[in-house]
Chain A
Amino acid sequence: MTNRIAELRKARKISQAELADGVDVTRQTIISLESGRYNASLLLAHKIAKYFGLTIEEVFLFEEETT
Chain B
Amino acid sequence: MTRKNAALWEQGINCAVVLSVAVSNFPLIPPAIRHPFSLFFILILIAAMFFDYWKRASYSEKELERERRDERNQMIQMQAVWYCHLAEDWILLGAFAVFALFLQDDVIAHVAMCLLAARSLLCFAIRWWLSRKY
Contacts and interface: CB of A to CB of B under 8 A. Distances in A.
Interface of A: 17, 20, 24-29, 32, 38, 40-41, 43-44
Interface string B1-15: 110010000000000
B38 interface: no
Contacts of A27: 2
Contact of B72 (A24, A28, A43): A28
Interface stretch (B62-70, B92-100, B105-113): B62-70
B71 A29 contact: yes
B82 to A, nearest CB: 17
B5 A41 contact: no
B66 A24 contact: yes
A7 B53 CA distance: 39
Contacts of A24: 66, 69
B70 A26 contact: yes
Given A32-B72, A38-B72, A26 B67 contact: yes
A59 to B, nearest CB: 16
Given A25-B66, A26-B2, A29-B71, 10 more contacts: A24-B66, A24-B69, A25-B72, A26-B5, A26-B67, A26-B72, A28-B70, A28-B72, A29-B73, A32-B72
Interface string B60-104: 000000110111110100000000000000000000000000000
A25 B5 CA distance: 12
